Amino acid sequence: MTTTPTLPVSPQGYLSVAKNVGIKDTTLDFTVIYSTVLAAAAGVFTQSLFCGAPIIVGREHLADGHAQALVINSKNANVATGQRGVENARDTARLVAAELRIAPEDVIPSSTGVIGWQLPMDKIRRGIVGLREQLRPDTLGQAAQAIMTTDTRPKLMAKQVGNVVLAGMAKGAGMIEPNMATMLAFLFTDAAIPAATLRPMLQRAVDVSFNMISVDTDTSTSDTVILMANGLAGEVNLAAFQAALNEVCIFLAKEVARDGEGASKLLEVAVSAGRDNRQAKRIAKAVVNSPLIKTAVYGADPNWGRVIMAIGKCHEETDIRPEKVAILFGDTCVFAKGEPQDVDLEALTKYLQAKEVRIAIDLGLGNGQATVWGCDLTEGYVQVNALYTT
């Protein structure tokens, strides 16, 4: 049984309820998170051409920069479900709004799970009845459990910034290769920050966190990151809040990568001295996404030649020169100045047996840098995804 996490501090004015409505099994699969006052809000969504119905509705409802409640279900993504799926997402938001006595456009729906199935609306309607009386404070841990699919554990963090609190939760273990946000992530603060300021702050945080992870190179149809700020704790130093937002998002992003389907290790790839940050990110992603590197990390095989391969296949990066590149596994330099370095392979193998593995690459070109996170590739990934629908 999954242990329900608790937060050391919680933002003011947020209530939630998590329950099972029977979408697929008997685990928690439905949650509503409600702010007692209308909140400024910002969101980042998937760029998938087959985005889910909740994405369509969520974009519309966030257009005015405000939200007061989130309604999230797991076990069913409500993707590729046509106009009926869109209407089901709207209906879910409308029913929750009626229970909470707020405007439907202030409710943001979100779904995650199997693609191509219609939501069981009869079960969801029954689950919404009596919602207002079921809301409780300090229950985000249960909400974090209710949004899980193949996750092995909930992902939750909170941080205090002056008088305000920022809390965040996320889910995701597979279909993770974002190019905007990733998976589902929801952030809540009692800071007073207008939506126009909130949007760029969220994008900056996403760019250094959720946009920097990969499990399997597959971009989800349901990727969503939402940030709500209800203002109940007053104003906050924006620079300090941005730093905290980045920290919380990076923590949650790393937890997603660490909990990748079947994963046994977290893999960090840090590229420095690139021509620019974009080049550094492209190289880092090429390395973290390589099945050959992921399996070598799983098997603790010190085969750094696979890193050479991953860099070399980025043939569009014509300014990269082998004689300028250095590669390190942890603190051990394995390649530099175009040649292999003398290393203790036994010690390197022992390093690769750790639960966290870091590969560093110096391109020797400029000031560009990027750090990305992923995981190893094990037999467990095949087992999870071969039987996902059933």
182 in catalytic set: yes
Bridge pairing between strands 184-191 and 224-234: parallel
Closest CA relative to residue 372, chosen from 350, 351, 357: 357
Of 46, 149, 150, 182, which is the active-site residue? Answer: 182
Active site residues per annotation: 182
